[in-house]
Structure 1
Amino acid sequence: MRKQRQWGRRGRPRPPLRLPRPTAKRTLDLLLGSTLLLLASPLLAAAALALAARGRRVTRHSARTGLHGAPLVLRSLDTRRLKLDVISRLHHVVRGELSLVGPAPLAPGDARNGTGGARRWRQELKPGLTGLAQVRHRSAMPWDEADLLDQHYAEHQGLRLDLAVLAEAVRAPLREAAGTLPWPGKARLSDTDHRLPGYSTAE
């Protein structure tokens, strides 16, 4: 049986419905987000079982504001260990509710959610799993304020900036973790006086 075409009012066949093409940002979110979620699933499942075995709450639900001010319930593992709470939000990225990179999702009552003036850009950006403000707050520079960094991202967003933010989001925790490891042969300074008896700086 042949598939019948849909006809318009004047007897002309209607053109096939064309879905909007995904942007490069959405393509990155979908491909990388799905891959990371697949790789992290065993670790997330083990963490959830460990929380349940200890009688602790497994997931935490937080009310947030999404794209165009739409309400969003953020679901994440109720633990900050190894940043599993952030990683567990990858399903929001795959579903299109969050982006990998973007401003932090704000609570509905947050004053920064306003729609007037310079705040309007927040309504036009999808919140992110991480963002420029999250990776730059460690620098402790006086101008590294979250609002300014989020606005800077809104004005200069692009695939290259997203990749740079993601690289820093991965590199910074690894660098901090590596700094705490007791590497073999690593010189350590202490307050102990190791000078030989009779040592003097005077010539």
Structure 2
Amino acid sequence: MRPTIAHTTLFSYLVTRPTGRTVRATVERQIAEAGTTVLAVLDLRHVPLIDFSCADEIVAKLVLLTSDASTRLSFILFRGIADHHFEPIDSVLRRRGLAAAAESADGKPLLMGALDPGATAVWREIWSLGRTGASPLAARLELPRDCVRGLLDDLVARALVIRDGERYVSLRHALLDAAPPSPARTDREDP
């Protein structure tokens, strides 16, 4: 499955609930207009401040949207998460019992919010592998296949992993798969 990528880079101080509503409405509209499976990428590298009310309005409510079975065709990856973003986002997600996949500003995987340790371990393995099946993952983690399958089902239900037939794909890998190929490099100059 190749999702459509909707990429939004935010450039602002994200404070106040009305600001958060405006940003969220814009992202929701982009997702709705795509009309297909969407991986929304929200880049926070240029956001110097996000307060708890904006984190709740933007992040938590978008995560709620993606975890709703009727909108199962959308996924969200937060990128550029710095230390000053993590606390408010993690706090509001934990308070609501939600979780979100993210990358730090230096590209390291982050799982924000509430998720049990077993699901977190499975998520981290899928992130590092990119794409895998339940059986190889169970062998790698030395866990029973049924246990791993249950944890995978939870990750899929929370829109933290994409199921593609019998394989499971990290959101980062789906993003890389959807990127257009880079042009071939030539060492000669054109006349």
Q: What interval of TM-score do these two structures reach, taking the shorter chain for normalisation?
A: under 0.3
Q: Which has the higher strand share?
A: 2
Higher CA-based Rg:
1
